[in-house]
Chains A and B, each alone.
Chain A
Amino acid sequence: MSTASTLAVPVRPTHRARTAAIVAAFAAFTVATCLPAIGGIELDLAALVRNWQNGVDKLLQLLQPNFAFFPRTVAPMLETLQMALVGAAGAAAVSVPLTLWAAKVTNQNAIGRSIVRTAVNVVRAVPDLVYATVLVAMVGVGALPGVLTLFLFNIGIIVKLVSEAIDSADHGYMEAGRAAGGTQLQINRVTALPQTWPLFANQWLYVLELNVRISAILGLVGAGGIGRILDERRAFYAYDDVSLIILEILVVVIVIEVFSNMLRRRLA
Chain B
Amino acid sequence: MTVTTAEPRTLAETALPVPPRPSRLWPTLIATAVGVIILASGAGLQISWAELPTLPAKVAEYLRLMFAAPNWEKLPRALEETWRSISMAWIGAILCVVISIPLGILAANGVGPRWLRTILRGMFAVIRAVPEVIIALVLLTVTGLTPLTGALALGIAGIGTQGKWVYETIESTRSGATEAVRAAGGTTAQVARWALWPAAAPSLMSFALYRFEINIRTSAVLGLVGAGGIGSMLSNYTNFREWDTVGMLLIVVVAATMLMDAISGAIRRRIMEGARSRGLGRNS
Residues of A near any B CB (own CB < 8 A): 29-30, 32-34, 38-44, 47-48, 51-52, 54-55, 57-59, 62, 78-79, 81-83, 85-86, 89, 121-122, 125-130, 133-134, 137-139, 142-144, 147, 213-214, 216-217, 220-221, 230, 234, 246, 249-250, 253-254
Instruction: Identify the closest chain B residue to A145 (Cβ).
Output: B47
Chain A's closest residue to B34 (CB) is A89
* Interface: B234 (CB within 8 A): yes
* In the complex, B151 has a CB within 8 A of chain A: yes
B177 in the interface (beta carbon within 8 A): no
List 28 A–B pairs whose Cβ atoms lie within 8 Å, in order of A's numbering.
A39-B87, A40-B83, A40-B87, A41-B88, A41-B150, A47-B144, A48-B142, A51-B142, A55-B139, A59-B138, A82-B41, A125-B217, A125-B253, A127-B218, A127-B221, A127-B253, A129-B220, A130-B253, A133-B235, A133-B238, A138-B59, A139-B59, A143-B47, A213-B131, A214-B131, A217-B133, A221-B235, A250-B130
B193 vs chain A, min Cβ distance (A): 18
B38: contacting residue among A86, A125, A217, CB under 8 A: A86
| Complex alpha-carbon distance, A72 and B151, angstroms | 33
Listed stretches B6-14, B17-25, B105-113, B254-262; interface member: B254-262
Chain B 124-139 near chain A by CB (<8 Å), digits 1 or 0: 0110111101100111
Whether A142 lies near B142 (C-beta < 8 A) is no
Whether the Cβ atoms of A122 and B241 lie closer than 8 Å is no
Which one of A48, A57, A128, A213 contacts B129 once the chains associate, using CB atoms below 8 Å?
A: A213
Question: Which of A44, A85, A139, A250 makes the CB contact (< 8 A) with B41?
Answer: A85
By a beta-carbon cutoff of 8 Å, the part of chain B in contact with chain A is 37-38, 41-42, 44-47, 55, 58-59, 62, 80-81, 83-84, 86-88, 90-91, 94, 125-126, 128-131, 133-134, 137-139, 141-144, 146-148, 150-151, 217-218, 220-221, 224-225, 231, 234-235, 238-239, 241, 246, 250, 253-254, 257-258, 261
Known: A86-B38, A143-B45. 7 other contacts (CB 8 A): A32-B87, A59-B138, A82-B42, A126-B254, A137-B241, A138-B58, A142-B46
Q: Are the C-beta atoms of A127 and B220 separated by less than 8 Å?
A: yes
Q: Are A33 and B86 in touch, CB under 8 angstroms?
A: yes
Pick the 10 closest A-B CB pairs, nearest first: A33-B87, A55-B142, A41-B147, A82-B41, A125-B257, A250-B129, A129-B221, A54-B141, A125-B254, A39-B80
Residues B253 and A42 in contact, CB atoms below 8 Å apart: no
A85 contacts B87, CB within 8 Å?
Answer: no
Question: Contact: A130 with B58, CB < 8 Å?
Answer: no
Nearest residue (CB) in A for B218 is A127
Cα(A47)–Cα(B254), bound, Å: 33
Give Cα distance in the complex from A128 to B217, angstroms.
8
Determine the distance from Cα of A144 to Cα of B142 in the docked complex, in whole angstroms: 35
B246 touches A134 (CB 8 A): yes
How distant is A202 from chain B, measured CB to nearest CB, in Å?
14
| A142 smallest CB distance to B (angstroms) | 7
In contact, B142 and A39 (Cβ under 8 angstroms): no
Is A125 a contact partner of B261 (Cβ separation < 8 A)? Answer: yes
Interface residue from A121, A128, A142 paired with B221 (Cβ < 8 Å): A128
Closest chain A residue to B257, Cβ basis: A125
Which B residues are in CB contact (< 8 Å) with A62? 138
Q: Name the residue on A nearest B229 (C-beta).
A: A41
* Nearest CB in chain A to that of B220: its residue: A127
Q: Which of A40, A59, A130, A142 has the most CB of B within 10 A?
A: A130
Contact B253 A126 (CB under 8 A): yes
Identify which of A82, A142, A230 contacts B44 (C-beta below 8 A). Answer: A82
A18–B178 Cα distance when bound, in Å, is: 29
Min CB distance A35 to B, Å, is 9
Does the CB pair A220–B133 fall under 8 Å?
A: yes
Q: Say whether, besides A86-B38, A134-B246, A142-B46, A38 and B83 are in contact (CB < 8 Å).
A: yes
Known: A82-B41, A130-B221. A48 touches B253 (CB 8 A): no
Contacts of B137 in A (CB 8 A): 234
Q: Which of B91, B138, B239 contacts A33 (CB 8 A)?
A: B91
Residue of B nearest to A134 (CB): B238
Q: Is the CB of B131 within 8 A of A79?
A: no
A246 CA to B147 CA, complexed, in Å: 24
Measured CA separation A86–B47 after assembly (Å): 12
Complex Cα distance, B90 from A89, in Å, reads 34
| Most B C-beta atoms less than 10 A away, residue of A57, A122, A125, A144 | A125
Docked-complex contact B224 and A129, CB < 8 angstroms: yes
Least CB distance, A54 to chain B, in whole angstroms? 4
